[in-house]
């Protein structure tokens, strides 16, 4: 892959940098109108990915006249200006002339002979917005800092080729994301039909579970774990960037591989999981740990049931009767579970595990695409690699970029 000649120009010499307009609430709330009115929330919602396709609010010319606003041109780059929204690092392109509120920064290319708008968008996508902020308790992007930022600029024709390559990569990522969403909905439907709507005889969960209250008395186990609603068992230092445990862990509960655990105050939002990734661990004394009678219920079958929308709703309903919205082990045991014969459980489990594996493979592919795109951006946006006459890069090149 050949290198290309790259010059650097201050961003302020290539673009205008503006912020939007202050809109009173009286002008908000219209779901249709001539002009899209872009707020920070629109940058992370409504299916907006690379482009702003739609917004929650629209305005007409009479409003623009009252607030003396001029729409920003299509192909401008927009991103948050202040606050916690900067951490999401969302940057989008306007698909049409729009107005924005004053918490949105708008970058519009003015020197089109030197800088291609989509190339600049990808350059911004590669940047962490936090580095453009002034120091202070509340992060605020400084227009002064932005103007001084040096942008690497290959020849205009090369910028357009780079943009086309990265755009193709975006399309692959977007299609994979859409496929994952469709497969997850299909999996939810499959779980509902194979477990909850198949007419199986129901059995109280209490007859399938035994509470485990073994303590870490000798403090021989040091691996402290937590249970989250998205990732199951996790190391707290990975979740909270620090170890969140008492100095003395002798009273912590021991959980073994294959056993289940949940926080009674968090199970109503889905924080229940089976320990699969470690041989054992310890949990805060507030957790409930239990094991299954695997002669009566297949553990994978139970796991699919407990993660189903029906089970989660029934668990949530159990919590609503409590003053502190907790679910005790007795409360969980009172919920009945559809329980067919063991051979049927295993057949259902096989089908659901197969569907789940397909989703997992797609997610791995998505992460590879994202990693490869990031590597390509590093090479292409710095001029280390040149697209050349071909707009398509080989698989070996993608692998090298993400290495």
**Model pLDDT for residues 317-329, shown as the tens digit of each residue:** 888 665 668 899 9
Instruction: Over range 133-153, report the average pLDDT.
Output: 90
Domain end point (choices 339, 371, 387): 339
**Calculated CA dihedral for residues 266, 269, 270, 272, nearest 10 degrees:** 10
Among candidate residues 300, 272, 301, the one with its CA nearest the CA of residue 195: 301
Q: Please name the residues in contact with 399: beta carbons below 8 A apart, sequence gap of 6 or more.
A: 372
Among candidate residues 297, 331, 301, 337, the one with its CA nearest the CA of residue 317: 331
Burial grade of 382 (CB within 10 A; 0-12, 13-18, 19 or more) = middle
Residue 320 and residue 227 share a domain = yes
Cα–chain center distance at 144 = 31
3-state DSSP assignment of residue 319? helix
Residue 241 and residue 108 share a domain = no
Kindly report the pTM of this predicted structure. Answer: 0.82
Report which DSSP code applies to 282. E
- The domain that contains 322 carries what CATH number? 3.90.220.20
Q: Where do we find the tokens 């990569």?
A: 169
C-beta separation of 17 from 143 below 8 A: yes
Instruction: Over range 101-125, report the average pLDDT.
Output: 96
The continuous run of DSSP H or E covering 70 comes out as none
Enter the tokens of residue 176: 């994979």
Q: Please name the residues in contact with 38: beta carbons below 8 A apart, sequence gap of 6 or more.
A: 20, 52, 55, 78, 94, 98, 99, 100, 101, 104
C-beta separation of 363 from 300 below 8 A: no
> How many structural domains does the chain have?
2
Q: Where do we find the tokens 């409360």?
A: 331
pLDDT at 141 over 90: yes
3-state DSSP assignment of residue 94? strand
C-beta separation of 129 from 88 below 8 A: no
Q: Which residues pair with 99 in a beta bridge?
A: 37
Residue 335 and residue 229 share a domain = yes
How far is 98 from 105, CA to CA, in rounded Å? 13
For residue 366, being part of any structural domain is answered with: no
For residue 356, being part of any structural domain is answered with: no
pLDDT at 79 over 90: yes
The continuous run of DSSP H or E covering 36 comes out as strand 35-38
Strand ranges for 301-347 from DSSP E: 336-338
3-state DSSP assignment of residue 104? strand
C-beta separation of 359 from 307 below 8 A: no
Residue 93 and residue 213 share a domain = no
For residue 122, being part of any structural domain is answered with: yes
Residue 228 and residue 114 share a domain = no
How far is 135 from 144, CA to CA, in rounded Å? 13
Residue 208 and residue 321 share a domain = yes
C-beta separation of 240 from 262 below 8 A: no
Residue 134 and residue 12 share a domain = yes
Residue 82 confidence class, pLDDT cut points 50, 70, 90? very high
For residue 117, being part of any structural domain is answered with: yes
Among candidate residues 388, 389, 395, the one with its CA nearest the CA of residue 369: 395
How far is 328 from 318, CA to CA, in rounded Å? 9
How far is 68 from 70, CA to CA, in rounded Å? 7
C-beta separation of 302 from 245 below 8 A: no
For residue 2, being part of any structural domain is answered with: no
3-state DSSP assignment of residue 146? helix
Residue 222 and residue 145 share a domain = no
Enter the tokens of residue 311: 């089970």
Domain end point (choices 153, 168, 189): 153
Q: Tell me what the pLDDT averaged over the chain comes to.
A: 90
For residue 244, being part of any structural domain is answered with: yes
Position 323 scores a pLDDT of 61
For residue 105, being part of any structural domain is answered with: yes
Residue 118 and residue 30 share a domain = yes
Residue 236 and residue 112 share a domain = no
Residue 305 and residue 235 share a domain = yes
Position 400 scores a pLDDT of 53
Question: pLDDT (tens digit, 9 = 90+) per residue, 17-43?
Answer: 999 999 888 889 899 999 999 999 999
For residue 32, being part of any structural domain is answered with: yes
Domain end point (choices 297, 318, 339): 339
Enter the tokens of residue 68: 């003396």
Q: Which domain holds residue 212?
A: 201-339
Instruction: Name the percent of the chain lying above pLDDT 70.
Output: 91
Residue 141 and residue 44 share a domain = yes
Position 244 scores a pLDDT of 54
């Amino acid at each position: 892959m050949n290198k290309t000649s790259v010059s650097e120009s201050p961003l302020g010499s290539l673009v205008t940098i503006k912020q939007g307009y202050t809109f009173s609430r009286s002008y908000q709330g219209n779901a249709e109108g001539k002009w899209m009115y872009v707020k920070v929330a629109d940058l992370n919602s409504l299916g907006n990915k690379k482009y702003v396709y739609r917004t929650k609010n629209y305005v007409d010319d009479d409003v623009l006249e009252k607030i003396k606003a001029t729409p920003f041109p299509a192909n401008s780059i927009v991103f948050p200006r202040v606050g916690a929204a900067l951490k999401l690092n969302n940057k989008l392109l306007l698909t049409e002339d729009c107005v924005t509120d004053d918490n949105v920064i708008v970058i519009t290319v003015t020197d089109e002979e030197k800088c291609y708008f989509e190339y600049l968008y990808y350059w911004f996508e590669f940047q962490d917005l936090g580095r453009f902020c002034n120091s202070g308790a509340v992060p605020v992007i400084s227009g002064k800092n932005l103007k001084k930022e040096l942008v690497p600029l290959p020849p205009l024709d090369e910028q357009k080729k780079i943009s086309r390559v990265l755009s193709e990569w975006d399309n692959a990522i977007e299609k994979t994301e859409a496929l994952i969403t469709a497969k997850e909905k299909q999996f939810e439907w499959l779980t509902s039909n194979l477990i909850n709507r198949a007419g199986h005889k129901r059995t109280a969960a209490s007859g399938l579970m035994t509470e485990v209250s073994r303590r870490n008395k000798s403090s021989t186990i040091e691996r402290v774990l937590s249970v989250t609603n998205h990732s199951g068992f996790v190391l707290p230092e990975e979740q909270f960037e620090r170890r969140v445990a008492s100095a003395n862990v002798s009273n912590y509960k021991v959980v073994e591989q294959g056993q289940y655990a949940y926080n009674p105050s968090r199970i109503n939002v889905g924080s229940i999981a089976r320990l699969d990734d470690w041989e054992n661990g310890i949990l805060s004394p507030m957790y409930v740990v239990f094991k299954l009678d695997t002669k009566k219920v297949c553990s994978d079958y139970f796991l699919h049931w407990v993660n189903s929308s029906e089970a989660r709703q029934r668990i949530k309903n159990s919590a609503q009767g409590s003053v502190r919205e907790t679910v005790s082990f007795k409360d969980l045991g009172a919920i009945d579970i559809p329980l067919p014969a063991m051979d049927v459980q295993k057949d259902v489990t096989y089908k659901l595990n197969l569907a789940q594996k397909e989703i997992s493979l797609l997610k791995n592919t998505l992460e590879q695409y994202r990693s490869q795109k990031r590597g390509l951006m590093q090479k292409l946006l710095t001029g280390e690699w040149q697209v050349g006459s071909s707009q398509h890069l080989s698989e070996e090149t993608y692998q090298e970029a993400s290495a």
